Amino acid sequence: MAFLEALRSRHRTFKRRHPMRREALFLCLVALAYVASSAVLGLAGDVPAAPVLVGLDADNYYAWQILFIVPLIFAVWILSSGVLLALGTKGCHRSNVLCGASRAWGAPLLLAWVPSAVQAAFAILGMGQAEWVEILSKPGLWQTIYLASYAAAAIWAVVKYVGTARTIHKRSWSTAVSTGIAASAVAIGIFVLFIR
């Protein structure tokens, strides 16, 4: 019994002293999920269904995504936190904002990963990309679920960023909403531009 209490006490101390480590670890795990699905899709020879930025080769996109996804996820975390801090009030704790931004970015990002994970699972089972695209091209249940997962992730990101902004702007809901929307626009915009 004393051993369990010692472990709990150590865990509480770690949470208090190193909140940023937990948040960084969470984002790292989310990034590794994207690395795994990108590796499977790349090995299967799949190409992104959505257009890629001009100048990037769609045939090797998943191979490149394996390399840039981890730094990109952390860069978005820092950028969106910077927007929250820049538009925030004086006296807010940076670590609280960074922790909130990590959750606001990481949790919806994990939800947005689900379609990629499902596609990767089907690729492992032998489904070709042509079959996958055919299923999603037809209006109906599967296309709706696919698009709804991305829409839900975007809405969730906005709500979570507004919640984080609310910790900065405790007196003004309108300022918190506008700050949260600005920070989430950075995160969602970069996701739409780079992540497939």
Q: How far apart are CA 186 and CA 148, in angstroms?
A: 21
Task: Return the pLDDT at 17.
Answer: 60
Q: Is 96 helix (H, G, I), strand (E, B) or coil?
A: helix
Q: How far apart are CA 179 and CA 181, in angstroms?
A: 5
Task: Return the pLDDT at 13.
Answer: 53
Q: How far apart are CA 121 and CA 37, in angstroms?
A: 8
* pTM higher than 0.75: yes
Place of tokens 């969730």: 156
Per-residue confidence at 73, pLDDT binned at 50, 70, 90? Answer: very high
Place of tokens 């919640």: 163
CB of 36 closer than 8 Å to CB of 62: no
Q: What is the pLDDT of residues 92-143, one digit of tens each?
A: 778 888 999 999 999 999 999 999 999 999 999 999 888 988 988 889 999 9
Q: How far apart are CA 93 and CA 42, in angstroms?
A: 41
Q: Domain locations in the chain?
A: 17-194
